[in-house]
Chains A and B, each alone.
Chain A
Amino acid sequence: MKNGAILFLGLFAALGASWAGIVVGSSTQFGALAPYYDQVADQSYPNGLAGEAARGQLVYRDLNCASCHTQQVRRAGFGADQARGWGERQSVARDYIYQPFVQLGDSRVGPDLANYAARKPAAPDAAAVYRLLYAGQGGMPAYAFLFEERKIVGQVSAQALPAGAGVTARPGYEILPTPRAQALVAYLLSLTSPYDYPEAKAAPAPTAEAKK
């Protein structure tokens, strides 16, 4: 190789090929996926994030929760995702079309959250999520900086965390979630896979011939 021009053109061809093949190719294929309209229910799926949940996703992003939590359920028979109650079907591209910042994640130090609000056996409620964020649990560190301790004026406010299970405020004080915590919890509780898209249905078990 002596010719600089050939090297130069080759380099750009190399990058351009992979870009065209993977990025542009899949972009034309599923970059503009339409929501799925269910005639029976007269509804389109998925739905966009509500305002507070969308702000919560920004909190999720700036704390980089994706460094420990994925948001993708693999198909039954490929890992134990569904057996762990993380979802009842495989996640598909259509699930994410309205998420401004897709947080698939690549590490499962903690459990998957794709279907957090509807997880089995027991779906979490807001109070439980606040407590988990404030006090931490097991491998999940406490995110106490998302809360503030405030002097009780008059009555205890409705949003205050109930005492017990790791939540202890000084006497005369109450622990309140900051707007960031509220947004984050709204986001976490919006995480569901509400609809079984046709492409998400499990493929029939491969025949013995097709298996190898």
Chain B
Amino acid sequence: MTPNDPTFQPAAQTDEELLNAHEALLAKQPDDRAHYKLMPLALLFFFSGLILFAATYLNRYSGHFDKTIYDENALPTDHNVEVKIDPVVFGKQLFASSGACVTCHQASGQGVPGTYPPLAGSEWVNGPDERVISIVLYGLQGTVHVTSKSFNAAVMPSFGPSGFNWSDEKIADVLTYVRQEWGNKASAVTADQVAAVRAKDGAHTAWTEPDLLQIK
């Protein structure tokens, strides 16, 4: 059988020789003949180069191992910006949401004459912050005078703890919207103000006009 016989490849060394030869290679002192060898050095340089590249690349493009970073060029400061909600936009959406303000006061803010009082130009809406917060938080019953007309047919429901149970933010935002729409020009309402009223009055029942007028 010749070495080039495709049907059989003769072995050039036994298994024993193979094991012995390679064991001897590992057992010998690395510098036994003090020969300069290019290969180990070249491999070590290559390895160091790869490690250097790896470290540099990882450092630059890791995205700081942040779960919100999808673009490797980005830095964490580019993200994690708190999303700002425009109170007027949000408030308008709340105003128009089903079962809320728009049902009675209408999208135009004019209410229904004789039944539901208007918000546009209302002295209540443009009056002291705490008053209007109280109305929305706890509701209002009994006769109420708005733009020198009297309304007694309906009850303003509570959007606070005994009613729709809206959060402070929602109440603040819807009030801010109402107070700046349809020509109203009152100041914005903050969630902190709502929280303060809520803390002060606790589980208050619906307000009446005389009680409200006590609030300055």
**Nearest CB of A to B66, in Å:** 9
**Nearest CB of B to A152, in Å:** 45
Does B57 touch A at the CB level, under 8 Å?
Answer: no
> In the complex, how many residues of chain A place their beta carbon closer than 8 angstroms to a beta carbon of chain B?
20
Pairwise interchain contact A39-B67, C-beta atoms closer than 8 A:
no
CB-contact partner of A211 in B67, B71, B73, under 8 A: B73
Give 1 or 0 for each of B76-97: 1 = CB within 8 Å of chain A CB: 0011010101000110010001
Does A206 touch B at the CB level, under 8 Å?
Answer: yes
CB-contact partner of A203 in B71, B85, B89, B169, under 8 A: B71
Contact count band on B: 10 to 19
- Given A75-B70, A92-B70, A200-B70, A40-B79 contact (CB < 8 Å): no
A42 to B83, CA, bound (A): 15
Does B9 touch A at the CB level, under 8 Å?
Answer: no
A90 to B67, CA, bound (A): 15
Pairwise interchain contact B70-A39, C-beta atoms closer than 8 A:
no
Give 1 or 0 for each of A87-103: 1 = CB within 8 Å of chain B CB: 00010110000000000
> Which chain B residues have a beta carbon within 8 Å of chain A's beta carbons?
65, 67-71, 73-75, 78-79, 81, 83, 85, 89-90, 93, 97, 169
20 A-B interface contacts by CB (under 8 A): A29-B67, A30-B67, A39-B90, A40-B85, A40-B90, A75-B70, A90-B70, A92-B70, A198-B68, A198-B79, A198-B83, A199-B68, A199-B69, A201-B79, A203-B69, A203-B71, A203-B73, A203-B74, A204-B78, A210-B75
